[in-house]
Amino acid sequence: MKLFNCLIAFLFLTGVTHAATLTELQQQALQNRKVIKKYEANLAISQNDESLAKSRFYPSLDVSYAVNSLDESNTFENRENSVAVGSITWNLFSGFQDKYKLKSAQLAKKAEEFKLQGIKQDIQLNVALRYLTIYTRQASLRVAQDSYTTLQKTYHDAQNRFQVGLIKKNELLRFKVDLDNALISQKKANAELAKGVRLLSREIDAKIKPQELLFSEFEQLPILNENNQYEAEMLSNRSEIKALQLLSEAAKAQTKAVYGRLYPRVDLASSYRRYNDNFDGSGASNDEEVRTQLNLSMNIFDGFGKYRRVSKAKRTAESLQYDLTEMQDDLKTQLANLFSDFEVNGENVGVAQGSIEQAKENLRITRLSYKEGLEKESDLLDAITNLSRAQYNFVAAKGEVFANYFKITRAIEGF
């Protein structure tokens, strides 16, 4: 599911206009969905945050020009004068705050990359499930249509039998009630299919028609390996886990950065100052000064703010670590449940297939017995209902197998 054809991607730019596979629909969704653009914007923001963190390693250059007007001249300043100043300041040490803030920003950016990867996987899962829904609803519609057709033929036969006095009016009405119920079921199945098509169109953000879908992926039931193998792969590959791990590491780095407030700060500054006794700098008197300073500063007390920031940063890192543990436990439980459902539904497919064969044979025998007067109309209706139920069970079980398979694929980042 990770390999996409460039030609198919080009054809999909204006919408799905040919027979489509699941992989092609997923690629279409990744190209069209605005939520992808949102996560890409978040990634760009995190890249800017990284650049901002790097900027603290460079010196700061400032220039200024001021004109002064006094009420009268004095020994030190002319009544009209101007001062031009240029300065460069470079932080040499700040308790490693800059180092750990940069590390935190880099980890946060990497976490956003994994979040983008995760949302892409989610979208592909949603497309797969919508695609599967259309497949199962088409199958359910066919079952409803077959049931209606069978009951319609049976009702016409019952009408003929009623006209020659072989059955009573109430027996004919039983067939009509079941026929009407089959018609209602058919209309509901049609409506559900239409809703499924609209949901898939929304998921890929393009118009789609049921006849354009190939459904070749559902020709054979999927096969899985052992659960332990998938669990290890999930814990290793899952983007949400990686993102939370990186955010936890970023929080720890931020904690170390906050500790930097407890250390002294060392700055190197060099400035050039030029005084002139006129507004435009063309006066006769000029005074120039070049000054270089090494400044050592340290905050002694700020109302316990430094310690509260350190405590907050530590608690944030601990909270993220707890979230990571909970997420891993939840995902392992979900994966185990998906495997259980996959196995059960796989067995149910086999059972349902056998039930269909038995129900067909039962209907054949019951229909013959009914024509011979050995079975009642209720027995014939029950036989028709049993066949429909077996067919619905097969569709449902097969749909659940593939739904579980798609969710397991998503769990290990397999799309």
Q: Per-residue DSSP letters for 176-245?
A: HHHHHHHHHHHHHHHHHHHHHHHHHHHHHTS---GGGB--GGGSS------HHHHHHHHHHH-HHHHHHH
The model's pLDDT over 216-243, given as tens digits with 9 standing for 90+, comes to: 889 889 988 888 889 999 998 899 999 9
pTM (two decimals): 0.80
Q: Which residue has the tokens 């994966």?
A: 335
Return the structure tokens found at 273: 């100052």
Strands across the sheet containing 286-297: 60-69, 80-93, 265-276, 286-297
pLDDT at 342 over 70: yes
CA distance linking residue 215 with residue 349, whole number of Å: 18
Query: pLDDT tier at 9 (50, 70, 90 boundaries)?
Result: very low
Q: Which of 295-299, 324-328, 372-376 has the highest mean pLDDT?
A: 324-328
Query: pLDDT tier at 18 (50, 70, 90 boundaries)?
Result: low
Return the structure tokens found at 290: 């070049």
Torsion of CA 394, 397, 399, 403, to 10 degrees: -170
Other residues' Cβ atoms within 10 Å of the Cβ of residue 156: 12
- Number of residues in the chain: 415
**CA nearest neighbour of 276 among 86, 85, 88:** 85
CA atoms within 13 A on the CB side of 145: 8
**CA nearest neighbour of 142 among 400, 388, 398:** 388
Q: Which of 241 and 277 is assigned the larger pLDDT? A: 241
